[in-house]
Amino acid sequence: MAIWSEVRNESFEKYDRLDAEFYQPIYLEVEEKLNAVNSVRLESLLTDIRYGLNVEPDYVDEGLPFIRAMNLKEYGIEGEVLKIPFEAKDIGELNVLEKGDLLIVRSGANVGDIGIVTDNLAGSTFGSYVIRLKPNKKIVNPAFLYVFLKSKFGREQTIRFRSGTAQPNISIPNLKEVLIYLPSLEKQAEIEKFLTKSYLTKESSKMLYQEAEELLLHELGLDALDLSDELTYERNFDEVALAGRLDAQYFAPRYQRTLKSMSKSGETIGDVAPIVKRIFRSKLADEHFEYIEIGSLTGDGRAESEKLLSTEAPSRAQWIVKKDDVITSTVRPIRRLSALIETQQEDFVCSSGFAVLEPKTIEAEVLLVWLRLPIISEILDLHTTATMYPAIAVDTLLRIPITKPSEPVSKQIIQKIQDSREAIKNAKQLLEDAKRRVEDMILGE
């Protein structure tokens, strides 16, 4: 079915765009609505706008937090923020983030996704696939600007102004042209209250997850183990021969103590949660599926997904996942990239970079927390091979020893994780309420 739009010559001259896609009815409607209220160009609300750092992905344990495009999700900044070997003084003051700065993905599948810098992320920096907006706080509330850009009226504009097909992109000159509804600072503050409550609810979710982790550490006695590093230690030949390893790191006392503690039960990951291999087959070209990539995992063990057409399926889209599966990355496992699948829907697929585990004699929530314990992530990393992209073989993963907590503690952990997930849902709903309130202001409702 054909869709018609009538466009005046002034529009072609104003935007210097001749492609029909740019003048779709939804975009023209958004522009008309915003021109009818107090709206200004985004550029007029900023004290600075710039692209992020173009640096080599050399990540370290201690360094400057580095926010990448994959950290910007539907509901803000998520996932592990890696570190680069720099200090703030090395990159210049204007490349250091402050509370209230906004970050927008400028290229790729999630172009236009946006996050706001909170207290805990102030002092970080950002990558080259990200654009930083620094709002002028005298005339615009950063929280309001963030919510507006995530609302229908902001999102449709960022989609409209992007260019390219294989690799969608939005540039700084394009972003400067985006129209922003600007109500009074009092009304903007109303929106900030929604966002603040959403943020606090989200933080409570993180605390609940942390409490679940502490429960498991204590129950397994891992919090009482001496996990300090020792400069020197000895191992006899029999131990080396049995392990089939010669690297000194593997025999570090902190790891050997952990492995010994986990071996008491005599069970392995494969015993309690065998691997499942449900192979994904691409469907008809016009059918959709939900895809989970390694970069789609959040910092608290959840998996976000991206809706794709079957024709858009990447070659690494390999495993079908179902509710209560636990997926764990076999690539760089030290990054704690594991998630519990919660969806009841079908057609969810994950990358070949994951091992899909089906919990049998252990609760899915407990397995998730166990896999994401920092010391366990280090143990998994010990069993990787290769240097550029260290990965653990699935057979090796399944042989890692595991000890389960008692039933009463398992129940407490399950409840903590479920409460954490509920808090996340509430936080998302509060953000949706804020977006709806902004849209109602514009529509006069």
pLDDT band for position 6 (cuts 50, 70, 90):
low
Identify the CATH number of the domain in which residue 289 sits: 3.90.220.20
Examine residue 362 and state whether it is found in any structural domain, yes or no: yes
Examine residue 380 and state whether it is found in any structural domain, yes or no: yes
Same domain, 267 and 170: no
Examine residue 228 and state whether it is found in any structural domain, yes or no: no
Same domain, 42 and 154: yes
Same domain, 257 and 114: no
User: Which tens digits make up the pLDDT trace of 385-408?
Assistant: 866 678 899 999 999 999 999 999
pLDDT band for position 218 (cuts 50, 70, 90):
very high
Tokens of 396: 């090796």
Same domain, 399 and 259: yes
User: Which tens digits make up the pLDDT trace of 18-50?
Assistant: 566 777 888 889 999 999 998 999 999 999 999
Last residue of a domain, one of 165, 182, 199: 182
Same domain, 173 and 257: no
User: Which tens digits make up the pLDDT trace of 285-320?
Assistant: 778 888 998 888 888 898 888 888 888 888 899 999
Q: What stretches of 163-260 adopt beta strand conformation (E)?
A: 179-181
Q: 254-258, 354-358, 405-409, 427-431: which range is least confident on average?
A: 254-258
Q: Which residues contact 409 (CB under 8 A, 6 or more apart)?
A: 215, 216, 219
Same domain, 273 and 171: no
Q: Which residues contact 115 (CB under 8 A, 6 or more apart)?
A: 67, 71, 72, 73, 76, 77, 102, 103
**Residue 12 in this model has a pLDDT that exceeds 70:** no
pLDDT band for position 212 (cuts 50, 70, 90):
very high
- Average pLDDT of the residues of the chain: 88
Examine residue 442 and state whether it is found in any structural domain, yes or no: no
Same domain, 13 and 86: yes
What mean pLDDT do residues 76-105 have?
Answer: 91
Same domain, 114 and 253: no
Same domain, 153 and 15: yes
User: Angle at which helices 407-443 and 364-372 pack, to 10 degrees?
Assistant: 90
Report the SS3 class of residue 217: helix
The pLDDT assigned to 11 comes to: 54
Q: 87-96, 147-156, 308-317: which range is least confident on average?
A: 308-317
Examine residue 202 and state whether it is found in any structural domain, yes or no: no
Q: Write the Ramachandran bin of 36: left for phi over 0, alpha for psi from -120 to 50, otherwise beta.
A: alpha
Q: 186-190, 234-238, 293-297, 406-410: which range is least confident on average?
A: 234-238
Domain that holds residue 176: 9-182
Same domain, 140 and 271: no
Q: Which residues contact 259 (CB under 8 A, 6 or more apart)?
A: 379, 401
The pLDDT assigned to 259 comes to: 87
Examine residue 239 and state whether it is found in any structural domain, yes or no: no
Domain count, the chain: 2
Examine residue 118 and state whether it is found in any structural domain, yes or no: yes
Same domain, 164 and 308: no
pTM for this prediction: 0.85
**Higher model confidence: residue 381 or residue 130?**
130
The pLDDT assigned to 199 comes to: 93
Which value, in Å, is the radius of gyration of the alpha carbons in the chain?
24
**Residue 104 in this model has a pLDDT that exceeds 70:** yes
Last residue of a domain, one of 182, 211, 232: 182
Contact yes or no for 273/326 (Cβ under 8 A): yes
Examine residue 238 and state whether it is found in any structural domain, yes or no: no
What is the C-alpha separation between 282 and 276, in angstroms, rounded?
Answer: 19
Tokens of 295: 């970069």
What mean pLDDT do residues 78-103 have?
Answer: 91
What mean pLDDT do residues 141-154 have?
Answer: 97
The pLDDT assigned to 416 comes to: 98
Most confidently modeled range among 4-18, 128-142, 234-248, 282-296: 128-142
Contact yes or no for 293/348 (Cβ under 8 A): no
Last residue of a domain, one of 156, 182, 208: 182
The pLDDT assigned to 282 comes to: 77
Same domain, 142 and 71: yes
